[in-house]
A and B are shown apart, each in its own frame.
Chain A
Amino acid sequence: MLSRVADSLYWMSRYLERVDHVTRLIDVHLTIVPEQSTEAAHRRRSRLVTSLVGEKYPVDAITSDFELAALLTFDEDNPNSIARCIASARENARPVREQINSQMWEQINQMYLYIQNSSMADIWVGEPHQFYHRINQDVYRFQGITDSRVSRDQGWHFIQLGKYIERAAETADALNVDFRDLYRASLAVDAVDQNTYLEWVGLLRGCAAYEAYSKVYTANVQPNSIVEFLILNPEFPYSVRFAINAIQKSLDAIGVATETPKSARVYRLAGRLRATLDYAQVEEIMESGLGSSLLEIQNRCAEIHDIIYQTYIAYTYSDRVAK
């Protein structure tokens, strides 16, 4: 597979995963704020902006949910806005149109046309949920088409890498931002209070995890259980550990398919992170500090990304001639 194509598939997939994440967070946010105090709502908006736009964004400029939604949905200057991410996914899909199947392309193209023809005013007048729900469904449709129709070749594995590296980083980030703001508040009490409960459920729903969590822990929402579920659960597809497992499997498959000697390096790196998660205990994570553990995970993901690039995408002639 052409290195440039692998690169495009990887980013196409990452951007769509980001669309899924941002969309879900706004959607969840809009269902939670009506029950919140002005102050809690403001803090919530700040967290979303920090997490989805960046630490440097002047949070105080955002004073309403309309402004927040506009920033996260359509803002041309925000590279993580849903519209920009869909456009970026499409830009990456276009040069590999002959590699992905036509249904995948049409799905991305339709999402693009849909958001190009939507406006914040229209969404707000109607029911915003319907809009975000549709975008979410569209991403799932794309991923469904990918899973049902694409051969499990390198291309598919690069798509998986993009999806799961993005997902691991996002779940870690969502946890990090929410815990920084909420954790101390609930530390003292045994059971979380009603307002904080709302936020913890919001975190789970933002990670598409609430229903799955309840099956494991019942509706007893506890910070430690949330951390355990979102970081260490091996079966839930949005948990960090699940994502790292998927990344390692795909790296393995790509290494075999390309017979690249250097693949061992990137495989080992992912393997180390996986082993850490396999043997980790939630109590230890909380004791040593959740923030630093999450930062460690995010740094490792960035390292894996870099080494994938050095090994498969951006190498030079001195490296080798293919067999």
Chain B
Amino acid sequence: MDSDSDFFIPASSSPSGMSAPFASYHLDDAYDELLEPNGTPRPQYEFLYHRLLELTPQELSQRQRSADLSFLHQGITFTVYSDSRGTERIFPYDLLPRIITAQEWDTIERGLIQRIMALNLFLHDIYHGAQILKDKVVPHELVRSSKHFRKQMLGINVPHDVYVAVTGTDLIRMPNGRFAVLEDNLRVPSGASYMLANRQVMKRVFPNLFNHYGVRPLEFYGQALLTSMRELAPKDRAGASDLTIVLLSPGVFNSAYFEHTFLARQMGVQLVEGRDLMVHDNIVYMRTTAGLQRVDVIYRRIDDDFIDPSVFRQDSMLGAAGIFNAYLHGNVTLANALGTGVADDKAVYAYVPAIVRYYLNEDPILDNIETYLCSDDDQREYVLANLDKLVVKAVGESGGYGMLVGPHSTAEQRADFARLVKAQPRNYIAQPTIQLSRAPCFLDNQVEPRHVDLRPYILYGSQIRILPGGLTRVALRRGSLVVNSSQGGGSKDTWVLGQ
């Protein structure tokens, strides 16, 4: 036992009187993942809490350095676009795990399965007959005006009727402790590789702690992803011994390129770029040293717009001409399907509870955040009058772009957004500013609370599979509510306990 144990204080002491390394740990209105409102650690954090009291800040810093170095050497980086040299940075990693109990996870899991099933049924419906629009549960105009609605997909059947093979739902924990969905991310969600890399580093840095907790494993992600893709193969190719699955990446300059290579290796499939593909007689091929080889399933990590320059954006160099026709003929599977973005449109989001009830006849298990649609006159009035209190978001954007956080905004920014909202009301929604829950982070030799969210990954093949955990993203700047990596966010390992 090291000398720091002299500072050990009973867990019942008040937060203000806490010893190093918790001296700057203060509670506020947000839900605290570590401490109960009375300042005692929550049961699942108790062991970690006491372990942190035993370790010296030097020991903790040393582990942080060793973790950072490991990320750097492995090249686990993302590219910063604003930097002309295309600098690669490591995705900041926080040393301390975020812990989720088996019971909490059970609710999350059931809630996600329910939500994904409903959204998938919704996608199938709106591209086949659109009964939900006829029944006026979701406004017709809202769907047809979505930037991500693809009229080319009307009447097209996709294997097993599965549109969203991979989802990365953003969850937040509300001040009342309940989990709510912030965004559905049904297009090309990223971050799974960081979840897996965080886990690898964590097991090296805190082996004993990890072992003590009985954390549920994540390592099977690559295999589960591969299995789902296999299950979604075109019907006449299902089970073929030479079934070929590829991961289609925009290439080395994409900010998520590390993730693409990582997942391709985890799945044991080829990572291809558009220039490796070629379509002939509605069959997709890749160019290999042994000639052209047929491709059956494309786990695509590029947006709808860039898939096929002969159908969508003509200037796209990332996809390959003819893929859409091959898809239309059922000769190749795209995962996710084209046109899924219409269901994660932030205005459609407001209707997801109704969508769940409509298709499944159940109450939603996970909460939705109250959402004001600027296309509605009354709601827009309210939004414009309360810009300083609300978060305003562009409906088709992601990654923290096109967003106004009212309480942290300047008068000038609010005036800009007011103009934007009035010009294109359909393009904007607003939500109350939610205090995301806070989790302990190791920063500057101290343990301090920072706001976090949680992105679990949901796979949908012939059945739904959910990884126990996900990527916990952290807003590393004190007080910040923005967790996106492009905006100063980091991440930490997420532990779902076995029991």
Q: Is B289's CB under 8 angstroms from A254's CB?
A: yes
**Chain B min CB distance to A181 (Å):** 40
Question: Per-position contact with A for B268-299: 1 when CB-CB < 8 Å, else 0?
Answer: 00111101101010000111111111100000
Contacts A97-B261, A97-B265, A320-B292 given: A2-B270 contact, CB under 8 Å? yes
Flag if A2 contacts B276 (CB, 8 Å).
yes
- Specify which of A105, A259, A317 is in contact with B290 (CB 8 Å cutoff): A259
Contacting pair A106 B73 (CB below 8 A):
yes
- Separation in Å of the A161 CB from the closest CB of chain B? 11
B82: A residues at CB distance < 8 A:
none
45-83 of chain B: CB within 8 A of chain A:
72-75
List of B residues within 8 angstroms of A91 by Cβ:
252
- Chain A, residues 286-323, CB within 8 Å of chain B (1/0): the string is 00000000000000000000000000110101011111
Contact A3 to B287, CB < 8 A, known contacts A97-B265, A98-B262: yes
Residue of chain A at shortest CB distance from B278 = A317
Q: Is B245 an interface residue (CB 8 A)?
A: no
- In the complex where A94-B257, A106-B74, A317-B280 touch, is A322 in contact with B288 (Cβ < 8 A)? yes
Q: What is the CB-to-nearest-CB distance from A201 to chain B, in angstroms, rounded to a whole number?
A: 38
* B264 sits at the interface (CB 8 A): yes
Roughly how many angstroms separate A162 CA and B286 CA in the complex, as a whole number? Answer: 23
Contacts of B265 in A (CB 8 A): 97-98
Q: How far is the CB of A56 from chain B (nearest CB, A)?
A: 29
Within 8 Å of chain A (Cβ to Cβ): is B251? Answer: yes
Q: Does A51 sit at the interface, judged by CB under 8 A?
A: no
CA distance A91 to B272 in the complex (A): 16
Chain B 84-106: CB-based contact to A (< 8 A → 1; otherwise 0): 00000000000000000000000
The 0/1 profile, CB within 8 Å of B marked 1, for residues 92-127 of chain A is: 001101100010011001100100000000000000
Q: Among A1, A95, A317, which residue has its beta carbon within 8 angstroms of that of B289?
A: A1
Indicate if the CB atoms of A258 and B290 lie closer than 8 Å. yes
Q: Are A1 and B292 in contact (CB under 8 A)?
A: no
**Nearest opposing residue in chain B for A109, CB measure:** B75
Residues of chain B with a CB closer than 8 A to A94's CB: 75, 252, 257, 261
Q: For residue A3, which residues in chain B have a CB less than 8 angstroms away from its CB? A: 276, 287-289
Residue numbers in A under 8 Å from B74 (CB-CB): 102, 105-106, 109
Whether A260 sits at the interface, judged by CB under 8 Å, is yes
Q: How large is the interface on B (under 10, 10 to 19, 20 to 34, 35 or more residues)?
A: 20 to 34
Bound state CA distance, A322 and B288, in angstroms? 8
Expressed in whole angstroms, the Cα–Cα distance for A248 and B74 within the complex equals 34
When distances are taken between beta carbons in the complex, the residues of chain B under 8 Å from A97 are 75, 258, 261-262, 265
Q: Tell me which residues from 213 to 272 in chain B have a Cβ below 8 Å from any Cβ of chain A.
A: 251-252, 257-258, 261-262, 264-265, 270-272
* Assembly CA distance A2 to B288 (angstroms): 4
Q: In the bound complex, what is the Cα–Cα distance between A266 and B258 (angstroms)? A: 35
Given contacts A4-B273, A95-B251, A109-B73, whether A312 and B278 have CB atoms under 8 Å apart is no
**Minimum CB distance partner of B257 in chain A:** A94
Q: Which of B73, B278, B287, B290 contacts A4 (CB 8 A)?
A: B287
- Given A3-B289, A260-B291, A322-B290, A105 and B75 touching (CB < 8 A)? yes
> Is the CB–CB distance between B276 and A322 below 8 Å?
no
With known contacts A98-B261, A254-B289, A312-B289, A2–B73 Cβ distance under 8 A = no
Q: How many residues of A contact B (CB 8 A)?
A: 33
Cβ 8 A contact of A320, one of B73, B286, B291: B291
CB-nearest residue of chain A to B266:
A98
* CB–CB A110/B73 < 8 A: yes
Do the beta carbons of B289 and A6 come within 8 Å of each other? Answer: yes
Closest to A311 in B: B289
Q: How far apart sit A139 and B293, CA to CA, in the bound complex (Å)?
A: 34
Q: Are A323 and B291 in contact (CB under 8 A)?
A: yes
Q: Does A145 contact B (CB under 8 A)?
A: no
Query: Is A257 close to B, CB under 8 A?
Result: yes
Complex formed: what's the CA distance from A1 to B288 in Å? 5
Name the distance in Å between A95's Cβ and chain B's nearest Cβ. Answer: 5
Question: Measured between alpha carbons, how far is A254 from B291 in the docked complex, in Å?
Answer: 12
Residues 3-18 of A contacting B (Cβ, < 8 Å) = 3-6
Most buried by B among A4, A98, A260: A98
Asked whether A323 lies within 8 Å of B290 as measured between CB atoms, the reply is yes
Determine the chain A residues whose CB is within 8 A of the CB of B264 once the complex forms: 98
Give the chain A neighbours of B271 by CB distance below 8 A. Answer: 95, 98
Q: Is the beta-carbon distance between A258 and B285 smaller than 8 angstroms?
A: no
A154 in contact (CB, < 8 A): yes
Which A residues touch B278, using CB under 8 A?
317
Task: Tell which of A154, A312, A322 touches B292, judged by Cβ atoms closer than 8 Å.
Answer: A322
> Which of B257, B264, B278, B288 has the most chain A CB atoms closer than 10 A to its own CB?
B288
CB-based nearest A residue for B262: A98
Q: Cα distance A123–B419 when bound, in Å?
A: 58
Chain B residues whose C-beta falls within 8 Å of the C-beta of A321 in the assembled complex: 285, 291-294
Q: Using CB atoms, name the residue of chain B closest to A101.
A: B265
Q: How far is the CA of A161 from the CA of B257 in the complex (A)?
A: 27
B210 nearest CB across to chain A (Å): 21
Q: A254 CA to B288 CA in the complex, in Å?
A: 12
Complexed CA–CA distance, A315 and B275 (Å): 13
The interface centre, meaning the residue of B258, B289, B293 with most chain A CB atoms within 10 A of its CB, is: B289
Q: Across the two chains, which residue of chain B brings its CB closest to A93?
A: B75
CB neighbours (8 Å) of B275 from chain A are 4
Q: Is the CB of B252 within 8 A of A95?
A: yes
CB distance from B286 to the nearest CB of A (A): 6
Contacts of B252 in A (CB 8 A): 91, 94-95
Q: How far apart sit A258 and B290, CA to CA, in the bound complex (Å)?
A: 4
Which A residue's beta carbon lies closest to that of B269? A98
- A254 contact set on B, CB distance < 8 A: 289
Question: With A and B bound together, what is the CA distance between A322 and B252 in angstroms?
Answer: 27
* Residues 441-481 of chain B, each 1 if its beta carbon lies under 8 Å from chain A, else 0: 00000000000000000000000000000000000000000
Report whether B287 and A2 are in contact in the complex, using a CB–CB cutoff of 8 Å: yes
Inside 8 A of B290's CB, which chain A residues have their CB?
Answer: 1, 257-260, 322-323
Say whether, besides A98-B262, A113-B72, A321-B285, A258 and B251 are in contact (CB < 8 Å).
no
With both chains docked as a complex, state the minimum distance between the C-beta of A9 and any C-beta of chain B, in angstroms.
10
Q: Which residues of A contact B285 (CB under 8 A)?
A: 321
Q: How far is the CB of A297 from chain B (nearest CB, A)?
A: 26
Minimum C-beta distance from A16 to chain B (A): 17
Binding site for A on B (CB under 8 A): 72-75, 251-252, 257-258, 261-262, 264-265, 270-273, 275-276, 278, 280, 285-294
Please name 9 pairs of A and B residues whose Cβ atoms are closer than 8 Å in the assembled complex, sorted by A.
A2-B287, A2-B288, A3-B276, A95-B251, A97-B265, A98-B261, A258-B289, A320-B292, A321-B294
Task: Name A residues whose Cβ lies closer than 8 Å to a Cβ of B.
Answer: 1-6, 91, 94-95, 97-98, 102, 105-106, 109-110, 113, 154, 158, 254, 257-260, 312-313, 315, 317, 319-323
Q: Which 8 A-B pairs have the closest CB atoms?
A: A322-B291, A258-B290, A98-B265, A97-B261, A98-B264, A312-B289, A98-B261, A322-B293
* Seed contacts A94-B252, A97-B265, A257-B290; 20 additional CB < 8 Å A-B pairs: A1-B288, A2-B276, A2-B287, A2-B289, A3-B289, A4-B273, A94-B261, A95-B261, A95-B271, A97-B262, A98-B271, A154-B289, A254-B289, A260-B290, A313-B289, A317-B278, A319-B292, A321-B285, A321-B291, A322-B292
